[in-house]
A and B are shown apart, each in its own frame.
Chain A
Amino acid sequence: MPGMNSGINVNDPTVVAAFKTALVHQGIIALLIFALLGFAWITVRAWLPAARAAEGAKGSTSAAAAAEPAWRRLLRIGFGLIWILDGILQAQPKMAIGLPSQVIQPTAASSPHWVQQVVNWAGTTWSYHPMQAGASAVWIQVGIGIWLLAASRGPLSRLAGLVSVGWGFVVWAFGESFGGIFAPGLTWLFGAPGAVLIYMVAGGLIALPERAWRSPRLGRAVLAGLGLFLVGMAVLQAWPGRGFWQGTSHGQPGTLAGMTSAMAQTPQPGFLAGWVNAFTVFDEAHGFGINLFVVVALGLIGAAFLTGRRQVVRPAVIVFAVLCLADWVLIEDFGFLGGLGTDPNSMLPFALLAVGGYLALTPEPAAATEPATTEPATTVAAAAGWRERVRPAALRQSVGTASIQTVAAVGALGLIILGAAPMAAAQASPNADPILAEAIAGSTAPLNFAAKPFQLTDQHGRTVSLASLHGKVVLLTFLDPVCTSDCPLIAQEFRAAGQLLGASDRRVELVAVVANPVYHQVAYTQAFDRQERLTQTPNWLYLTGSVPQLQQVWKDYGIAAQILPAGSMIGHPDIAYVIDQAGKVRTELNTDPGPGTTATKSSFAVLLAGAALNALRSS
């Protein structure tokens, strides 16, 4: 998929170090947010004893009045913990560079073209700013998790559910390619319809008004939906021709055994791989029996959920939980081991949802189901008009009576903003992070020596010497006009660098010298310029000359232009020099563009423009 693979090793030390630094910096800010909020909370409570007393009175009346329904608590805490785990997984050092190419791209590979286009857009967007995107995902997910854990009730808690739905959709659509539901081979065993879709369902439930939780109808609806889904998955699992009925086929593992066999190859503790391998062997021997069991189990469990009757649902939930656990360990291989796992896959969320549905059918203790006689302050405030709520007295009371959970929830919101804000700012910039170019090309070498003079002919047939460019910063490189790979990309990087320079562009010359001893005529520099749309770039010079002239310049600037045999293009290094206004070489840049994605091209352009601006400032 174009744009996604930056060509940088996911373990590249430059990128890993930058990602860690970004996380540490933001982590310190996150701690400061919580520390400041905690300090403010303690201070306000100390200054407002009346409010504290009011809170004490409120607590005594509200605590017993409206306890959170058990199954809501289960979903909130369960999915809160999963979001935090997902956030921690996002902090893996390889994630910043590896997510587009090693997670998103493979997931989308078997999906329809339109899904690939949507996902490719997102992957490319991530690739432009991998540090910001990677850190953003960490803090947003940790923030959602803390928010869900901290805010147990009221509008703040419901808002956490909504945020969970919103961010969940982003992850499900762009990170999981819509959970693979548009790809062939859909099966519950491998995680369909995507773990994050279940997060979204849970988030949607948490966002519902409190009155919805007081009735068992909601729980029955959840179980009915889950039951219908499982029956559908049973039908799909039983569908012939999808390779699930065969343990092996033509000497190759069947669909399920093939999947588990691949999962066992991922780096993980030996005993876990042993379990998965043992299951693979068992499935290869008894593929039909295993699939029959899965089909029957899913069908029966789904049917039991559809009844909505507690006595029937209870054993079904137990069996379902065991089945989920077995699938999670033996087939999904925990979902996040080795490779670049971003979540524990779908079985834990499924089990949580089913257990939650069952708890909804269980009557709550009478005291908890009674309507509160005295509404908590926050609820009262919510019911009041906004003018009432923003009155200083009301605000003082709200702040003074805020619980530690509320403070933590506000801190979590701060975490989400902490993650989202730099990403939003980065997205506003059309230019990629120069860290990509630095990672590909290595660090730049600061220099300070007089540039060797030259006198060559430009693409218009005019004589140009280095002396004639005195007073301008010169970005100098060496390009083969009939090169098929790197040189056109470098030319584009130069063109983009010129555009990035803005008004400073007038004080910078973008200069290339021909690096081909055979195809070096002016006609070729002109053809190259037309090909690369450089004819309208006013400060672009493509210089050439006789072979002896060119050889002298190559020698002066350390360029070896080698004629290679057997249909190869000219071999030459991809180097750029930054020559300042006084004619001194200030920087040498490796401009090898790697795979030449839009992100890396943009990144090199930013690097080149930055080097030119530095030279302008230091001259």
Chain B
Amino acid sequence: MNRPALLTSVLLAAMLAAGCGSAAGQATAPPRPATPPSLATSLATATGTWAVAVMGGSAASHNNFWQLFARPAGTSTWRLATPPGVASNGGLVLTGLRGGSVLAGFRPSQDLAYSPLAITKNNGRTWSPALLDAGLADVPGALAADPASGRLLALLTDGTAEMSGPGGTAWTRLTTRHALATSRAGTRCEPGSLNAAAFSPSGQPMLAAGCGRPGTAGIFSRTGRAWQFTGPALPAAYAHQAITVLRLATTGGTTTALLAAGTGSAAHLLAGWSSDSGAHWKLSPPLPLNGATLTSASSGPGSSLAIILSHRQAAAIISAAGSWRQLPVLPPGTATLAPRPSGGWNALAVHGTQLTIWQAAPGAQSWTREQVIKVPVQFGSSS
């Protein structure tokens, strides 16, 4: 073959390879570990119930705004209570403070890299600013408060955990995912990302993670300057399963954890309760996911938990003594569940800029519409 023909052959082969390469199939991805649910969640405090949901319905993230809704104790009406002054496109994270106050943290978005905080003492009627000079992690359990001391705990986007002094001032680094992984406690778990932060009933900082070591539930408590592994001991049946702690919260003297075990179609959820900073745990029966994915998890009174799965499925568990109960098929667009004062649950469903609140009493077979809130979303205000 002469030189021009050789050159053209090489060019041709390259072109054919480029053109035909596009038809090649994609390799099968390995099963992914469980990930924490979205920021859509609810929180019950002494002074009311709070719920977070994203609204706008836009494909562009800067036109979706996270909203905070509040239902003051003693009332049955929800209202918009989003703290003013900051764009909420990145998400909102909630935690309860002492005396029924609530702290909301804005996640970073666009060019804002740190997290403004807002505190309300009057059920969201007015807010006062506070500051976390770092970005909150994209998990609903990224903020926690110790009601007794007033200290705050925050998980950050870079895998760091920071703790403040009383009143949310003087933030200092508590640990990092890497430091935790290399600690004596961490070697038992080989933690991946940090998924939730909480204070134990006695005021010890606690962190939750997914473990690289099978059969281990990654919950850690800080005693003095050292971390202790305080995850529940799981039955032998879980010895070879990937375990991820998805939520961790303390209410009324009890720490509640939500765990995912296994992957793919064999995955299921477990709830765990501890009243002694993780020394002892009670575990719920498993809830098989049957291929569904967890989209939202909310805590209710008495350490109850309600979860939303894909395909409009939902379940709730009241306490360690009970078992998971399926809730009626959710209304379309349900973002999160919130406990009702008289028992049962509210389903908060989002359609663009409209929030519809549905209610189901304990044992109900269906949801009934309770309230509609139209939210004045300011499209384009973040662009």
Which A residues are closer than 8 A to B by beta carbons?
Answer: 181-187, 192-193, 221-222, 224-225, 228-229, 231-232, 235-236, 239, 241-242, 482-485, 487-489, 516-519, 521, 523-524, 527, 530-531, 563-571, 596
Q: Which single residue of chain A is at the shortest CB-CB distance from B114?
A: A527
How far is it, in angstroms, between the C-alpha of A567 and the C-alpha of B58 when the chains are bound? Answer: 15
How far is it, in angstroms, between the C-alpha of A527 and the C-alpha of B112 when the chains are bound? Answer: 10
Beyond A224-B8, A482-B112, A566-B82, 9 additional pairs, beta carbon < 8 A: A187-B19, A221-B2, A224-B4, A224-B5, A482-B106, A517-B85, A527-B133, A530-B133, A565-B378
Smallest Cβ distance from B252 to chain A, in angstroms?
A: 30
Contact segment of B62-70, B159-167, B267-275 = B62-70
How far is it, in angstroms, between the C-alpha of A483 and the C-alpha of B2 when the chains are bound? Answer: 65
Contact B22 A531 (CB under 8 A): no
How far is it, in angstroms, between the C-alpha of A241 and the C-alpha of B5 when the chains are bound? Answer: 29
Q: Which residues of A contact B82 (CB under 8 A)?
A: 565-567
Smallest Cβ distance from A42 to chain B, in angstroms?
A: 45
Given contacts A484-B112, A531-B114, A567-B65, contact A519 B383 (CB under 8 A): no
- 0 or 1 for each of B32-74: is its CB under 8 Å from A? (1 = yes): 0000000000000000000000010000001001110000000
Contact segment of B86-94, B221-229, B301-309, B318-326 = B86-94
Interface of B, secondary structure class, is mixed
Contact B131 A527 (CB under 8 A): yes
How far is it, in angstroms, between the C-alpha of A242 and the C-alpha of B7 when the chains are bound? Answer: 27
Smallest Cβ distance from B235 to chain A, in angstroms?
A: 44
A–B Cβ pairs within 8 angstroms, 14 of them: A184-B21, A187-B19, A228-B9, A232-B12, A484-B382, A485-B111, A518-B127, A521-B129, A563-B85, A564-B84, A566-B67, A566-B377, A567-B92, A568-B381
- List 7 tightest A-B contacts by C-beta distance, closest first: A184-B22, A518-B85, A567-B88, A567-B65, A221-B4, A488-B111, A186-B19
Contact A567 B23 (CB under 8 A): no
Q: Which single residue of chain B is at the shortest CB-CB distance from A531?
A: B113
- Which residue in B5, B87, B89, B131 is a CB contact (below 8 Å) of A221? B5
Smallest Cβ distance from A311 to chain B, in angstroms?
A: 21
Q: Which single residue of chain A is at the shortest CB-CB distance from B68?
A: A567
Say yes or no: is B363 at the interface (Cβ < 8 Å to chain A). no
Smallest Cβ distance from B328 to chain A, in angstroms?
A: 30
Size of the B side of the interface (Cβ < 8 Å), in residues, is 51
Q: Which single residue of chain B is at the shortest CB-CB distance from A571?
A: B381
Q: Which residues of B contact A565 (CB under 8 A)?
A: 80, 82, 84, 376, 378
How far is it, in angstroms, between the C-alpha of A182 and the C-alpha of B19 when the chains are bound? Answer: 7
Q: Which single residue of chain A is at the shortest CB-CB distance from B13?
A: A232
Given contacts A565-B84, A569-B87, contact A182 B18 (CB under 8 A): yes
Say yes or no: is B234 at the interface (Cβ < 8 Å to chain A). no
Say yes or no: is B279 at the interface (Cβ < 8 Å to chain A). no
Q: Which residues of A contact B378 (CB under 8 A)?
A: 564-566, 568
Contact B22 A566 (CB under 8 A): no
Contact A519 B116 (CB under 8 A): yes
How far is it, in angstroms, between the C-alpha of A231 and the C-alpha of B12 when the chains are bound? Answer: 9
How far is it, in angstroms, between the C-alpha of A3 and the C-alpha of B5 when the chains are bound? Answer: 41
Q: Which residues of A contact B101 (CB under 8 A)?
A: none
- 0 or 1 for each of B9-28: is its CB under 8 Å from A? (1 = yes): 10110111011111100000
Given contacts A239-B19, A565-B378, A566-B82, contact A484 B89 (CB under 8 A): yes
- Which residue in B14, B85, B113, B382 is a CB contact (below 8 Å) of A516? B85
Smallest Cβ distance from B317 to chain A, in angstroms?
A: 32
Smallest Cβ distance from B226 to chain A, in angstroms?
A: 31
Say yes or no: is B364 at the interface (Cβ < 8 Å to chain A). no
Q: Which residues of A contact B92 (CB under 8 A)?
A: 567
Contact B65 A566 (CB under 8 A): yes
How far is it, in angstroms, between the C-alpha of A221 and the C-alpha of B7 when the chains are bound? Answer: 11
Smallest Cβ distance from B368 to chain A, in angstroms?
A: 26
Say yes or no: is B148 at the interface (Cβ < 8 Å to chain A). no
- Which residue in B4, B129, B133 is a CB contact (below 8 Å) of A518? B129
Q: Which single residue of chain A is at the shortest CB-CB distance from B379?
A: A568
Q: Which residues of B contact A517 (CB under 8 A)?
A: 85
Q: Which residues of A contact B133 (CB under 8 A)?
A: 523, 527, 530
Contact A566 B19 (CB under 8 A): no
Contact B382 A485 (CB under 8 A): yes
How far is it, in angstroms, between the C-alpha of A531 and the C-alpha of B134 when the chains are bound? Answer: 9
Q: Which single residue of chain B is at the shortest CB-CB distance from A112?
A: B18
Say yes or no: is B76 at the interface (Cβ < 8 Å to chain A). no
Contact B67 A567 (CB under 8 A): yes
Say yes or no: is B375 at the interface (Cβ < 8 Å to chain A). yes
Contact B5 A566 (CB under 8 A): no
Smallest Cβ distance from A5 to chain B, in angstroms?
A: 14
Contact B382 A181 (CB under 8 A): no
- 0 or 1 for each of B191-207: is its CB under 8 Å from A? (1 = yes): 00000000000000000
Q: Which residues of A contact B23 (CB under 8 A)?
A: 184, 239, 241-242
- Which residue in B5, B8, B14, B109 is a CB contact (below 8 Å) of A484? B109
Among A224, A482, A566, which residue has the most Cβ atoms of chain B within 10 A?
A566
Smallest Cβ distance from B177 to chain A, in angstroms?
A: 23
Q: Which single residue of chain A is at the shortest CB-CB distance from B132?
A: A527
How far is it, in angstroms, between the C-alpha of A143 and the C-alpha of B111 when the chains are bound? Answer: 45
Contact B376 A566 (CB under 8 A): yes
Say yes or no: is B172 at the interface (Cβ < 8 Å to chain A). no
Contact A181 B85 (CB under 8 A): no
Q: Which single residue of chain B is at the shortest CB-CB distance from A487?
A: B111
Smallest Cβ distance from A355 to chain B, in angstroms?
A: 18
Which residues between 350 and 383 of chain B lie within 8 Å of chain A, taking CB atoms?
375-378, 381-383
Smallest Cβ distance from A113 to chain B, in angstroms?
A: 14
- Which residue in A192, A225, A488 is a CB contact (below 8 Å) of B5? A225
Say yes or no: is B265 at the interface (Cβ < 8 Å to chain A). no
Contact B87 A484 (CB under 8 A): yes
Among B21, B62, B88, B111, which residue has the most Cβ atoms of chain A within 10 A?
B111
Contact B84 A235 (CB under 8 A): no
- Which residue in A232, A518, A524, A563 is a CB contact (below 8 Å) of B131? A524
Smallest Cβ distance from A439 to chain B, in angstroms?
A: 19
